[in-house]
Amino acid sequence: MSFENIPALTDSGGASPILEETMKLYFAPMTCSLSPHIVLRELGLPFELIRVDNKTKRTADGRDFLSINPKGYVAALVLKNGEVLTEGPAIVQYVADQVPGNTLAPANGTWERVRLQEWLNFISTEVHSGCAPLFNADIAEPTKAIFRARLFKRLDYLSQALERQDYLMGRFGLADAYLFTVLTWLPSFNIEIGDWPELASFMARIAARPSVRAAMAAEAA
């Protein structure tokens, strides 16, 4: 049975009654929260999607987001027991572990799970963080050129990895959802993904997934 087309219980309005046992994903468009959003839909887990205004730090249901995540940024996942989990790589692994035997993440304690964590850390520290300075309008262009050159080396490495297989670990998983998310930012920096044909093909494969289409449509609504 495929769960990819199961929608969130409510999408960003907070108007519908919230079930106490439902997880809540706080998101903002064009941010790394897209990654756990995709994973939740891939696994068919029920959740409520709540938008955050990154400028005002107010949520769509009228709350102060800083009272939910004092770090001030998405993603944040409120669990069934009321605990709040932050940081995308931690969120996606927690979510995947709620569905034993799923194909998105190897089981805890296996060598393959360590490899997954290796990829998640690489994407987080070298690609995600590598993009961060390029968003900053206060950084001068000559300085940004240094960051771009470093980012290009990371993209070269990813392109080489994807020459051998369609997905980072052989089949679609958590690392692919995260990489797809951060690579969607490249047009904002006038970086052409087509300069890396393997990455362009990767993006097209991921974008075609029903879960990805549904997540992106919900966030754009």
Domains defined along the chain, listed by start = 10-103+210-220 (3.40.30.10), 111-207 (1.20.1050.10)
**Hey, is 56 helix, strand or coil?**
coil
H or E stretch at 141: helix 141-161
Burial class (CB in 10 A: 0-12, 13-18, 19+), 208: exposed
| Cα–Cα distance for residue pair 174/115, rounded to 1 Å | 12
pTM over 0.85: yes
| Cα–Cα distance for residue pair 23/201, rounded to 1 Å | 33
Q: How large is the C-alpha radius of gyration of the chain?
A: 17
Residue 154: C-alpha distances to residues 25, 125, 126, 131, 161 (Å): 29, 11, 7, 11, 11
| Cα–Cα distance for residue pair 6/22, rounded to 1 Å | 14
Q: Copy the structure tokens of residue 89.
A: 């790589």
**Hey, is 149 helix, strand or coil?**
helix
Q: Copy the structure tokens of residue 66.
A: 């800083």
pLDDT tens column, 185-220:
999 999 999 999 999 999 999 999 999 999 999 999
pLDDT tens column, 81-106:
999 999 999 999 999 999 999 999 99
pLDDT tens column, 22-76:
999 999 999 999 999 999 999 999 999 999 999 999 999 999 999 999 999 999 9
| Cα–Cα distance for residue pair 151/165, rounded to 1 Å | 22
